[in-house]
A = this chain, B = another copy of it.
Amino acid sequence: MSLVVVGSMAYDAIETPFGKTDKILGGAATFISIAASYFMEKVNAISVIGYDFDEKYLEMMRSKGIDLDGVELISDQKSFFWSGRYHNDMNSRDTLVTELNVLANFDPKVPESYQDCEFLMLGNLTPDIQRSVINQMKKRPKLIALDTMNFWIDNTLDSLKETLTMIDVLIINDEEARQLSGDYSLKVAAQTIMKMGPEYLVIKKGEHGALLFHKNEIFSAPGLPLEEVYDPTGAGDTFAGGFIGHLAKSNDISFTNMKRAVIYGSALASFCVEKFGTERLEGLTLGEVENRVRQFVNLADFDMLSQDISDALDQSA
Contact = CB atoms under 8 A, between A and B. Distances in A.
Contacts of A222: 209, 220, 222, 300
Contacts of A286: 312-313, 315-316
A302 to B, nearest CB: 4
A302 B263 contact: yes
B220 A299 contact: yes
A161 interface: no
A14 to B, nearest CB: 18
B219 A225 contact: no
A134 interface: no
Interface string A276-315: 0000000001111110011001011111110011001101
Contacts of A316: 285-288, 290
Nearest to A190: B225
Interface stretch (A77-85, A109-117, A226-234): A226-234
A66 B178 CA distance: 42
A209 B208 contact: yes
Report the copy number of this chain in the oligomer.
Answer: 2
Interface string A69-106: 00000000000000000001110000000000000000
B290 A312 contact: yes
Contacts of A185: 225-229
Contacts of A223: 220
A286 B220 CA distance: 24
Contacts of A220: 209, 222-223, 225, 299-300
Given A222-B222, A300-B300, 4 more contacts: A220-B225, A263-B302, A285-B316, A300-B302
A-B pairs, top 5 by smallest CB distance, nearest first, are A286-B316, A220-B222, A187-B225, A208-B208, A259-B302
12 contacts: A187-B225, A187-B227, A209-B222, A221-B302, A259-B302, A260-B305, A263-B302, A286-B313, A287-B313, A287-B316, A289-B312, A290-B312
